[in-house]
Amino acid sequence: MAAVLTEKIFEAYVHLGRETERVVYSMMLSQKTKIKSLKDLNLLEVLQAIHEADAVSVSFDEGELTIGSCYEVHSVSGMRDENHEPEVYINVYDTEDEETHSIRMCEFPHLADLFKVIVAVDEKCLLKFSGE
């Protein structure tokens, strides 16, 4: 019984992680679609920019986003896999071993730190229209 429950929890976690990747990837796509005002909105151009985007990335300055005691996030990057599903990676620099690691967002083990990363991406990708 416990094994079945553990399996169900894991399936739910992976599903939620993949949904999170889709949302974050969409946020990052907003960087590809620069809209100055609603009057200038051209949906065809926006759709074309989204369709042509193979990879998107949001970079952070040194020390701007730290997680845990020794990790600095230097970027969050996304791309589409062979099925056109988004894959999003958190790219971190480990200040202790001085190496860079990429962690798939849907496999990220610490939820509190993951929320911190998502909020930081959202703040960098916030769409603003003139007059707002």
Q: Looking at residue 34, what is its pLDDT?
A: 66
In a domain, 91, yes or no: yes
Task: Give domain status of residue 109, yes or no.
Answer: yes
- Please tell me the predicted confidence (pLDDT) of residue 104: 93
Question: pTM of the full predicted structure?
Answer: 0.77
**30 within a domain of the structure (yes/no):** yes
- The conformation of residue 105, written as its DSSP 8-state character, comes to G
- Burial of 123 by CB count in 10 Å (0-12 exposed, 13-18 middle, 19+ buried)? exposed
Give pLDDT, residue 62: 87
CA distance 77 to 8: 29
54 inside domain: yes
- Structural domains in the chain (count): 1
The residue count of the chain comes to: 132
Domain assignment present for 132 = no
Give the range of the structural domain holding residue 106, as residue numbers without chain letter.
2-124
Domain assignment present for 99: yes
Q: Is 129 a member of any domain? A: no
- Assigned domain for 115 exists: yes
Enumerate residue ranges in the chain where pLDDT < 50: 132
